Amino acid sequence: MASIAQAIRMALHVGETQLGVQDIFGEDVGPPLGGVFTCTQGLEKAWNSPLDERGIIGMAMGLALAEQKPVAEIQFVDYIFNTIDLMKLAGNTCWTTNGEFNIDMVVMSPTGSGVHGSVYHSHSFESIATHMPGWKVIIVSNPLDAYGLLISAIKDPNPVLFMYPKALIRTQTDDVIPGAPKDQKELSKMIDAPLGDRSQWKPEWPKTEVMEIPIGRAKKYTSGDKLTVISYGRTLPLAVNAARKINENRGSEDIEVMDLRTIYPYDWDAIKTSVEKTGRVLVVNEDTEVTNFGEHLIRRIANDCFYHLQAPPKLLAGANTPGVGLAWTLEQVQVPQEDSIEKAMTELLSLEA
C-alpha cells in the first residue's frame, strides 16, 4: 500500500520514462530533498528552480509552447496566488489561438489545512482555480486516485492543476497501485530515500502500469436514498466516516457520499442522479465559504433538480477569515471536522419534506 506521496512519485516516474516528461521542477523538487513532502524523490528529470513562483509558471508555459510536457510544482498552494495572471494566459491560449497552440503542462501543489500551517500554509485554491477557464482542476483524497489522475493529467494536452491535501499525504488505503508491492515496508525500501547522505542512493522503481483514472468522473463511497453528500480532498474521508457512523446508528443506508475528485470538469450526471434520488444534499469542503465552489454546485442543483428537493441544499465550508489560525483549537473551528460534518448530516436528515 502506497501513501499519496509515494503514489505521486510513481506516477511521475511513469511520466518521465513512458509519457515524455522531460522536466519536473519547482522549489526543492530536485535532489537532495526531492520535494518538501518527498513527492519527487529519486526522479531523474527533477530539478530545483529559484524561489520564484511566477518564474516557475512562466518556465512551464514556455516549455509547453516548445512542445515539451513539463510538470511544475508550487511548493504550497498558498504561494500560487501571485501567478494567477500567468495561469489565466495558460488557460486561454488554446481558445485565443483558435486551437493552434496547446499548453500541455501540469502544475501540482499541496493544498488545504490539517498540518497547523497557519496563515501561509493552509489555504485552499479550488474555487479561484475554477474561475480560470481552460484549466482542468483535480483534488485527490487517496493514493490510488493520486496515481491514476496524475497520469491522466500528464497525458492531457491542456493545462491541468493537480492538488493533493497536505493532511492526507501520508495516508494509506487498502487499494493497491497495479504493479506496486502490497507491503508498505517493501515499497518504502524500494523508493524512499534514506536519512543522511543520499548522494549514492537510487530508487528501485516497481513496474507500475500506465493506469489512468478519467478526469471528470466522481466516485461513490457509500450508498443511500435520503441524503447526498458531495466532497473531495481532506474532508472526503471525514464525510465517509460520519456517514458510516450515522448509517450504522440508524440501521439503514441513508447517506450517499460522493468524492468529486475532479473539480472542473465535474461529474454532473452523478450529482444529478444522486440528488434526484435522495432529495437532500450537503456539499462539504474547506475553502472559505463566500463564493465557494460548492455554491456553484448548489445553484445548479437548485436550477436543475428543484422539484426533487425535499430540503434546502446546505454548504459546510471553511470560515470566511483571512487564514487558518495556528492554534489547533482555531483550526478545529475554522474548517469542517468530522463532528461538524456529522452534525450537518443529522440536521438535514431531520428536516421534514
| Residue 281, CB-side half-sphere exposure with 13 Å CA sphere | 27
Q: Which three cell numbers stand for residue 86?
A: 500567468
Alpha carbon distance 352, 217 (integer Å): 32
Element (H, E) at 219: strand 219-222
- Sheet arrangement for strand 219-222: 219-222, 255-259, 227-231, 281-288, 314-318
Q: Cell 491514476 sits at which residue?
A: 148
Closest by CA to 203, choosing from 75, 39, 71, 69, is 39
Q: Give 118's DSSP letter.
A: G
Q: 47: exposed, middle or buried (C-beta count within 10 Å: 0-12, 13-18, 19+)?
A: middle
Q: What is the layout of strands, in order, in the sheet containing 46-48?
A: 46-48, 24-26, 71-73, 106-111, 160-165, 136-139, 262-264
Which positions are annotated as active-site residues? 121
CA 352 and chain centroid, separation: 35
Would you tell me the crossing angle of helices 84-96 and 53-65 to the nearest 10 degrees? 20
> Alpha helices of the chain — where are they, by DSSP H?
4-18, 53-65, 84-96, 126-129, 143-155, 184-191, 235-250, 268-278, 293-304, 328-334, 338-350
